[in-house]
Structure 1
Amino acid sequence: MTAPDPRPLLTRALGQVGDLVAATPPEALDAPTPCDDWDVRTLLAHLVGVHRRIAHVGGGGLFSEVSSMPDVAADRLAAELAAARADVDRRWGLDGSDAPVLDRELTVPWGTMPGRFVGFGYVQELTVHAWDLAAATGRTAGLDDALAAAVEDTAHRVLPAEPRGGPIPFGPPVPAAPDAAPTARLVAWLGRDPAFAAGTLADR
């Protein structure tokens, strides 16, 4: 059975990240995030790298040819993310073009597989990092839980509770409340504490 087209969800995941980044004020750049040793500035640079990688592998390149942590000036982060997003749209056909990416074999950190599976992997990564940014800046209330719900079962299947650490860049699962929303459940499974809150900017 052929996996469904991930691009509608990928479009939403990219849009969610883009909106959060565009609305992140300069005074938030030094705030801590749920990612160990990363502040918001570091997370935003990583998101630029992730966008560039999505575009690059969509065009047939190797993920390792693009840094996941580029050196981007603070005042260029939003602009560089937007430029990379435009490349993603073009190479993945999110702009309506007929990009033959879904059945092309792509190489990403978690293996070599058809683009339709890679797309869902990037939906997961973008959804989790959207939560990281939202949690760091007090904006988790508006997140798109449907994105997390769409990839939650796959996350449990491909990332078992053990082993973690080393080449698997996730800590052990964190307990989530029984009534937790899908995004909270997803980030908890991937080792984030759903209770993380740096507070709103007004609190700092």
Structure 2
Amino acid sequence: MAQQRQDYFDALDWVTLLATAVPIEAMSMATPCEDFDVRRLLGHLIGTAQRGLATARRTPTRGIPHVVDDVPDAELASTYARLAASIRTAWTPLSAAEDVQAPWGTCTAMDAARGFTVETVTHGWDLAVATGQPSDAPNGIADRCLADAAAVIPDRLRGVMYDRPVVNVQASSTTEQLAHLLGHRRRT
């Protein structure tokens, strides 16, 4: 669990750095995630972080919106940073085998952390690509996410939570390969 927990924390830290570097004027820019512009993507990352925090705290995630839209543009990055710090505190005492109720069902804390890490890294890639920032997640996180992806993204969630994989498109990094696996691609 130690490596998986650290991967989740590193992914949160990476997205915090990316979000902090987004200028206000970039909020309406398109992202590789077709449903989101930068503002909505940041709102989705905040919602995902809120669900990650609720999962660790064993509180219901059902009422947490898919996209949080009540945070002013100027406060999106700082809101995410505060959530990332709270997640670190809440996830630290959990053991790998403890059962938690993640948004997708009951699973071990290890599997929940894997799922949240994959989601965070993939949408971090979306944010980085959209805003022209370095798009490769640090510390080998994407390599480990890619190795676990089949378990984290079962076929039953394709078309529901995740798109079909992008095929026949060259990826520049493991992080981009992970994004392709979840159906995300650079817009041309």
> For residue 182 of structure 1, what is the aligned residue in structure 2?
174
> For residue 153 of structure 2, what is the aligned residue in structure 1?
159
> For residue 84 of structure 2, what is the aligned residue in structure 1?
85
> For residue 75 of structure 2, what is the aligned residue in structure 1?
76
* TM-score (structure 2 length as normaliser): 0.87
Change over 3 Å in CA distance of 1:127–1:179 after alignment to 2: closer
RMSD value over aligned CA atoms? 2.3
> For residue 113 of structure 1, what is the aligned residue in structure 2?
107
Percent identity over paired residues: 29
User: Deviation at 1:154?
Assistant: 2.1
> For residue 21 of structure 1, what is the aligned residue in structure 2?
19
Change over 3 Å in CA distance of 1:141–1:186 after alignment to 2: closer
* TM-score (structure 1 length as normaliser): 0.81
User: Deviation at 1:144?
Assistant: 2.4
Give the aligned residue type for 1:78.
Answer: A
Could you say which structure has the greater relative contact order, defined with CA pairs below 8 angstroms and 6 or more residues apart? Answer: 2
Change over 3 Å in CA distance of 1:88–1:176 after alignment to 2: farther
Quick one: distance in 1 between partners of 2:16 and 2:168? 27
> For residue 116 of structure 2, what is the aligned residue in structure 1?
122
> For residue 66 of structure 1, what is the aligned residue in structure 2?
64
> For residue 96 of structure 1, what is the aligned residue in structure 2?
none
- Residue in structure 1 matching 2:94, options 93, 96, 100: 100
CA deviations 1:177-202 (Å, max 9, x no partner) are 56742112111111112x436xxxxx
Look up the SS of the partner of 2:86 in the other structure: helix
Unaligned runs of 5+ in 1: 94-98, 198-204
> For residue 162 of structure 2, what is the aligned residue in structure 1?
170
> For residue 196 of structure 1, what is the aligned residue in structure 2?
187
User: Deviation at 1:171?
Assistant: 2.1
Give the aligned residue type for 1:128.
Answer: T
Q: Radius of gyration: which is bigger? A: 1
Paired residues for 1:45-64 under 5 Å: 45-64=43-62
Quick one: distance in 2 between partners of 1:163 and 1:123? 17
Quick one: distance in 1 between partners of 2:95 and 2:59? 12
User: Deviation at 1:140?
Assistant: 3.5
How many aligned positions are there? 187
User: Deviation at 1:42?
Assistant: 0.5
CA deviations 1:147-178 (Å, max 9, x no partner) are 1110113213443568731xx22222112556
